[in-house]
Structure 1
C-alpha cells in the first residue's frame, strides 16, 4: 500500500486505531518478555553462585576434617 502523505500513513486508511493498537500490544508483550528474561537470568546466576559457594564451603569443611583424623 502506498501513502500520499505522512498523515495518510498514520491514518492507515481508517484502520489506524486497530493497527497502532496491535503494534502497541505487540511491543508491550515483547518488552515484558525482555524484562522477565533479564530478571530470571539474574535469579539463576545468583542461585548458581550460592550453590558454588556452598560446595566450596563443604569441600573446605571435608578437607579440614580429614586433616584432623
Structure 2
C-alpha cells in the first residue's frame, strides 16, 4: 500500500486538503449536473406531451388538418424504436 495509515492517506504529505477539496468539488458538480439533466429531460417530456395533446385534440383537429392520432397512442421518448421492432 502506498500509505502507512489512513491519516497518512488523508494528509498526503501536506497536499491532502487540496486533493480532497478537488475531489469534493468534482463530485458535487457531477451530482448537480446529473440532477439538472434529469430535471431538464422531464420538463422537455412534459412540454412535448402537452404540445402533442394540444395538436391532436379534437377541437383543433379540423382546423389544422392534424390530430389523426388519439392521446392514448402517445409513447414516451425513446420507446418508438422498441415498439416498431415488435410489430
Question: Any gaps of 5 or more consecutive residues in structure 1?
Answer: 64-69
Q: Please identify which structure carries the higher helix content.
A: 1
TM-score, scaled to structure 2? 0.64
User: Which structure has the larger Rg?
Assistant: 1
Runs (4+) of structure 1 exceeding 4 A deviation are: none
Aligned pair count reads 61
Ranges in structure 2 where 5+ consecutive residues have no aligned partner: 64-87
Scaled by the length of structure 1, what TM-score is found? 0.79
Alpha-carbon deviation of 1:11? 0.9
Task: Say what the alpha-carbon RMSD is for the aligned residues.
Answer: 1.6
